[in-house]
Amino acid sequence: MGSIPDPSQSAASAAAESLRSEEIQRQLKQLGGRDLQLWSIGILIIVVLVAGFAAVVAPNVAWRGLPGTGLVEYRYLPQLFFGLISLILLFNIYVVVQKRSLNSTRASLIRELVFSERLESFTLIDPLTQLLNRRSLDQIVPREIARANRSGSHLTFVLVEVAGFKGLNDRLGNIAGDQLLVEVARLLKGTFRGSDAIIRYSGDRFLIIMADTNEKRAASAMRRLMDIVDRWNLNTKSGWEMLLNYGVAQYAIGASAAELLMAAEQKLVLQQAKAAPKPASLAAASGGLSK
């Protein structure tokens, strides 16, 4: 049996995981600001140089033919040209060095950001079933509850348990148990919508988060799944029978994620209790695994 987590208690863990990505994005924005600052300095220096050059050269050119005018300034024009060219060259060298440094830093931050996002996505995937794992609850549940509160839309949780899974592992070993979990995951993905979040909640449990779906529609989807499971049992010569228990709980405004998960857990326990006294009808009502 899996315990019910309170996603709010692990919010700090999720925030810590995303902190580095946010920091990298902030540094990238700062680099963009440095780019703008560098170009602004360059434009300002060019304007100052052009203004200074015009202030010195223009009077000499305009008054060059007049006697006694512009002779002293004109003698220093070669030095002025040399100084201006030197300043421009030095500034260009500075700009090139700074741009290379900025580009190198930006490329490094982008690589780190991509790596961080890939690593985070890998940590949210269950390696056996390729479904989302329990860590993803920290991101999905608060988002979906906030959306349901904001828009007034429906939100339903379905908790599915592979009945008798421990007994299967004890009799046939972990490999057979893993194969069954992979098949259950495949059937879940084939039954539910792409917008539904399918999560491996614990060893033998799966949680389906169905946005824009009320309890009645979620129960209808589970009946379709049970029909698919029945056909799988008929067509698959695996030596055991796949049977599932499930509980469906609809979100009510103001309820916490833990309360919603607990409601689904209680519905699941009720179904287990109803199915337990009638093992002969488990194939139709979802019960225990039998070889």
Structural domain spans, the chain? 7-123, 134-285
pLDDT of residue 125: 86
User: In this predicted structure, what is the pLDDT of residue 232?
Assistant: 92
Question: Residue 15 has what pLDDT?
Answer: 47
Query: Which letter does DSSP use for residue 178 in this model?
Result: H
- Please tell me the CATH superfamily of domain 134-285, with its number: Reverse transcriptase/Diguanylate cyclase domain (3.30.70.270)
Q: Which residues of the chain have pLDDT under 50?
A: 1-16, 63, 70-72, 119, 277-291
Q: Express each pLDDT in 199-251 by its tens digit.
A: 999 889 999 999 999 999 999 999 999 999 999 998 887 677 888 999 999 99
Task: State the sign of the Cα–Cα–Cα–Cα dihedral 100, 103, 105, 107.
Answer: negative
Residue 155 phi/psi, 5° resolution? -150, 130
Helix/strand/coil for 199: strand
In sequence order, what DSSP letters do the residues of 85-127 get, joined into one string?
Answer: HHHHHHHHHHHHHHHHHHHHHHHHHHHHHHHHHHHHHHHTB-T
The pTM of this model reads: 0.58
154 φ/ψ angles, rounded to the nearest 5 degrees: -80, 155
pLDDT at residue 148 in the model:
92
